[in-house]
């Protein structure tokens, strides 16, 4: 059901309704199979049917000229599916964007906005980005984090595209020359649920991080196994991979996530295969780990398994093929 984002932006932010009230009315329109424009066109006669008070019905008159908006309404096909599962109070009615919005047709893999510690393996994350950028995923990060810095740095020397979740509205942000180059080259899409002129405010950060994680299909984070376990509690039911500098044998794990110290395991994890390769990619559970003998797969065997499941990322194929030829 197509609708006009310009009209939605006016309705949610400029009509005089509280945003939560506006979103409730948008849901009411959808239940009746109406676009917002069609519903407003039936006022004030259909006020009761739409759940509007008489005062609301008479005041909801959009201006003749709406401000053009680059935004996705929550019923647009490119609107991240994970956001639709948020409670109505948190769910953005619109996701404003700048750049190549069609990039959102790919599965979004977010670099979790965890704060760095001495144990945070920055170098392995850099290696991981070299492997996964330019493949079938859209790699995203939350701005003003070490992960965003690494991602933008990687775009300089690696093919691929990225998403940047903002702390402000699109028009309230200063863009670097490099960011503008990426935007014009259709290699970057910037996203914000805030109206374009909204300035950055620290109080918004937890909510905006929450929305960024909800939008992702998968999340990658870094740190010690303990820090990864704590971070997993913020990630809903999203598949999570923790990249650490080592995996102690006696680590107690909780939640449903994987921990590895091998950046190349990220490629295997993203393809959906649970394979014990040269590294130690392990699925976490609610019990202390029980070490059991597992057969070691050769690169050729891993390649055959992945080929049976469909397309293999080119970086992973190249790495496995080179290992296979070296045997």
Q: At what angle do helices 122-132 and 146-157 cross, to 10 degrees?
A: 50
Is it the case that residue 275 has pLDDT exceeding 50?
Answer: no
Is it the case that residue 141 has pLDDT exceeding 90?
Answer: yes
Confidence category of residue 224, pLDDT binned at 50, 70, 90:
confident
Whether the CB-CB separation of 94 and 5 falls below 8 Å is answered with yes
Over residues 246-258, the pLDDT tens digits come to 665 444 344 468 8
Whether the CB-CB separation of 258 and 241 falls below 8 Å is answered with yes
Q: What is the pTM of this model?
A: 0.81
Work out the percent of the chain whose per-residue pLDDT is above 90: 47
Q: At what angle do helices 146-157 and 177-184 cross, to 10 degrees?
A: 60
Sorted by where each starts, the structural domains of the chain and their CATH numbers stand as 5-69 (no CATH), 95-283 (3.40.50.450)
The span from the CA of 163 to the CA of 190, in Å, is 6
Instruction: Considering only residues 59 and 168, tell me which one the structure prediction assigns the higher pLDDT.
Output: 168
**Averaged pLDDT for residues 217-226:** 86
Tell me if the bond preceding 44 is cis, omega within 30° of 0: yes
Average pLDDT score, the chain: 81
* Residue in the structure block whose two tokens are 């070296």: 326
CA proximity to 131, closest of 295, 322, 319, 324: 319
pLDDT recorded at residue 245: 74
**Averaged pLDDT for residues 271-278:** 46
Is it the case that residue 289 has pLDDT exceeding 50?
Answer: no
- Mean pLDDT is highest, among 126-135, 141-150, 235-244, 274-283, for 141-150
Task: Determine how many CB atoms are found less than 10 A away from the CB of residue 197.
Answer: 11
In the chain the first and final C-alpha atoms are separated, in Å, by: 56
Cα–Cα separations (whole angstroms), residue 31 to 9, 25, 51, 72: 20, 10, 12, 19
Whether the CB-CB separation of 224 and 244 falls below 8 Å is answered with yes
pLDDT recorded at residue 322: 61
- Angle at CA 113, nearest 5°, toward 130 and 226? 95
**Averaged pLDDT for residues 299-325:** 59
Number of H helices, E strands in the chain: 13, 10
pLDDT recorded at residue 214: 94
Q: Of 46-50, 109-113, 171-175, 304-308, where does mean pLDDT reach its minimum? A: 304-308
CA proximity to 162, closest of 172, 152, 173, 153: 152
Over residues 53-79, the pLDDT tens digits come to 888 888 888 888 999 999 999 999 999
- Angle at CA 269, nearest 5°, toward 263 and 272? 165
């Amino acid at each position: 059901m197509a609708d006009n984002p310009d009209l939605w932006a006016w309705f949610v932010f400029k009509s005089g309704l509280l945003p939560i009230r506006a979103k409730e009315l948008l849901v009411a329109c959808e239940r009746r199979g109406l676009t917002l424009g069609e519903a407003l066109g039936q006022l004030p006669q259909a006020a009761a049917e739409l759940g509007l008070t008489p005062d609301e019905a008479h005041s909801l008159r959009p201006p003749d000229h709406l401000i053009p908006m680059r935004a996705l309404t929550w019923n647009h096909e490119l609107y991240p599916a994970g956001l639709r599962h948020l409670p109505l109070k948190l769910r953005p009615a619109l996701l404003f964007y700048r750049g190549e919005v069609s990039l959102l047709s790919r599965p979004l893999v977010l670099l979790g906005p965890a704060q760095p510690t001495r144990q945070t393996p920055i170098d392995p994350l850099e290696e991981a980005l070299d492997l996964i950028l330019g493949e079938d995923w859209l790699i995203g990060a939350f701005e003003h984090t070490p992960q965003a810095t690494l991602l933008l740095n990687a775009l300089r020397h690696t093919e691929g595209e990225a998403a940047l979740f903002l702390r402000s509205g699109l028009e309230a942000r200063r863009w670097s020359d490099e960011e503008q180059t990426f935007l014009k080259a259709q290699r970057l899409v910037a996203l914000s649920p805030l109206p374009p002129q909204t300035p950055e405010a620290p109080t918004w950060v937890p909510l905006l991080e929450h929305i960024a994680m909800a939008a992702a299909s998968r999340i990658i984070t870094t740190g010690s196994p303990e820090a990864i376990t704590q971070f997993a509690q913020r990630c809903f039911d999203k598949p999570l991979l923790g990249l650490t500098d080592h995996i102690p044998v006696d680590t107690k794990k909780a939640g449903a996530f994987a921990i590895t110290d091998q950046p190349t395991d990220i490629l295997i994890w993203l393809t959906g295969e649970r394979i014990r390769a040269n590294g130690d990619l392990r699925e976490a559970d609610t019990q202390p780990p029980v070490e059991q003998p597992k057969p070691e797969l050769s690169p050729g065997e891993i390649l055959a398994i992945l080929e049976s499941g469909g397309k293999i990322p080119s970086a992973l194929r190249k790495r496995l093929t080179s290992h296979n030829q070296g045997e």
